[in-house]
Amino acid sequence: MVVSQDDTASRVGAEIMRDGGNAIDAAVATAFALAVTYPTAGNIGGGGFLVYRPAEGDPVAYDFRETAPGRSFPGMFMTDGEYNRGIHHNSHLAVGVPGTVAGLHLAWSEHGSLPWQRLVEPAVTLARDGFMVSDALARSLAGVLPRMADHPASVAQFSKQGEPYQAGETLRQPDLARTLARVAAEGPAGFYAGETAELIAREMAAHGGLITRQDLAAYRAVRRTPITGTYRGYDIISMPPISSGGTALIQMLNILEGYDLAATGSGSAATTHLLIEAMRRAYADRAQYLGDPAFNPRMPIDRLTSKAYAGELRLTISLERASVSSPDSFVWPTEGNETTHLSVVDGARNAVSMTYTLEQGYGSKITVPGAGFLLNNEMGDFNAAPGLTTETGLIGTGPNLAEPGKRMLSSMTPTIVARAGRLVMTTGSPGGRTIINTVLQTILNVVDFGMNIQEAVDAPRLHHQWLPDQTRYERWGLSPDTLALLAQQGHTMVETRVQGAVSAIYNNAEDNVLEAAEDRRRTSAAVGF
């Protein structure tokens, strides 16, 4: 089974397994296909994380998060003493050194079974010969074109001489096809050296960006040990720092394990209050402690993910009143939304959970001329400036300030759940800082509330991230009575349209059938055989 946000890409992954490939092979092929067919977040110009649980042996995590160029520094997003959001998120200075190609290749080199070129070739074909533009992609491209106006290569790539593509038309990307062909033939060298690297460096130099050929040549994906925890007898396997996802997820589950959520019920005011308070505390600790482990070697991960610490935090939660989040204190009283996720499980029950991104939709909106791929704006995930922590949500804590070679903190939370040695589910979502809470609620829906995987994905979601001190909930997700009770407790509730887009697979051990969920909040496609 393959679940991604694009039907063509999911079918590419399923076909790889039909041809004898395993879950890693299918994930790699799906990811490269998404770089062609789902340009809002599928990418080779961004980065992400992959968690792999083999049917036999220990799980492993692959970190291919972008890194800061060699000339980066903590105050680089300030202009004349003031924070400049445009530089931080919408400029060539916002582009981090991409990691996707290196990360996919590292995972394949250690666990793949089919030839590398076989996995990249479907994406080459899709880019060269083209694919039919769906209604969703046509609307997405039409919406982003005005924001691409300053980047001629992007307009040329994603429009017909400035006119939006219509559903049913064919989108061909010959420059991208040539870049992917180099990657297929040469592996990472086809991206981080030679013609592709020269094209990236030339674009950076021409527009004040920082990435050089030396930055590209120095990039390395990192093999890491997954962060693990337990929740009501289930094993939780997720991404360690530089992702904050696994740490915060396990911390929240540990807090919530002390309450009988099944008794209070899904969507009740009592359960919602507890979710908000757990989220608030985990996100505050995220801001205070988490960053690139190479630059923050003393992060208290063991403490943050311990049952004992969760017990201490539960003592600070009132069952009657909301806590107050403040930028001035982490003491309690007595990330861009357009990411994409894919899940893969093969016949042997090897499982992959992978989330990768360009940060915002279509990243920086900058297409590398002659190379045909969009660049990320992941430098926007570094904290804005030293000491700049505000009630509106800007964070200025030290662990996640920009420095040369540093990886920016992420909320991506690719997660696999097991029990008694058996795969239970693989899950993850896009959604910036909401990702962690989306994954949390999907797991709770299965474990505590007895939902099947489609019900768990369909269920309403909410999000609190410490600052700003408000809870966003999906429209119609909470009853008027529940909202009134939460307001009485002191919660500020803000309605939002949708949160996340989960790609999840459940392993039904009773009949050895894989059950997948398509998230109808956005495009989603499950393909199995």
The dihedral built from the CA positions of residue 66, 68, 74 and 77, taken in this order, carries a sign that is negative
What is the C-alpha separation between 184 and 190, in angstroms, rounded? 8
Alpha helices in 396-488 (DSSP H): 435-447, 453-458, 480-488
Could you state, in order of their start, the residue ranges of all structural domains in the chain?
Answer: 2-221+341-378, 224-337+411-527
Q: How far apart are CA 68 and CA 96, in angstroms?
A: 5
- What digits encode the pLDDT tens for the residues 405-455? 999 999 999 999 999 999 999 999 999 999 999 999 999 999 999 999 999
397 alpha-carbon distance from chain centroid: 22
pLDDT digits (tens, 9 = 90+) for 375-394: 999 999 998 888 877 666 66
In DSSP terms, 238 is beta-bridged to 227
Length in residues, the chain: 529
pLDDT of amino acid 494:
97
Backbone angles phi, psi at 328, to 5 degrees: -90, -10
* 87 three-state secondary structure: helix
Q: How far is residue 529's CA from residue 514's CA, in Å, rounded to a whole number? A: 10
415 has catalytic annotation:
no
> What pLDDT, on a 0 to 100 scale, did the predictor assign at position 386?
87
Q: What's the helix, strand, coil split of the chain in %, to 5?
A: 40, 20, 45
Mean pLDDT of 128-148: 97
H helices of 257-363, in order, are: 261-264, 269-289, 301-304, 307-314
Single out the catalytic residue among 67, 179, 212, 339: 339
pLDDT of residue 334: 46
Q: Are 44 and 183 in contact (CB under 8 A)?
A: yes
Q: Which class is 224-337+411-527 in CATH?
A: alpha beta
pLDDT tens sequence across 35-53: 999 999 999 999 999 999 9
Task: Identify each DSSP E strand in 81-154 by its residue range.
Answer: 82-83, 131-132
Burial class of 308 by CB neighbour count within 10 A (0 to 12, 13 to 18, 19+)? exposed
CA distance 226 to 62: 9
Report the pLDDT value the prediction gives residue 336, as an integer from 0 to 100.
64
How confident is the model at residue 326, as a pLDDT?
80
Considering the entire predicted model, what is its pTM? Answer: 0.96
- What is the mean predicted confidence (pLDDT) over 474-502? 97
Using only C-alpha atoms, what is the Rg of the chain?
A: 22
| Cβ atoms 30, 108 nearer than 8 A | no
Whether 29 contacts 119, CB under 8 Å: yes
- Residues 6+ positions from 175 with CB-CB distance below 8 Å: 157, 370, 371, 372
Per-residue confidence (pLDDT) for residue 121, from 0 to 100: 98
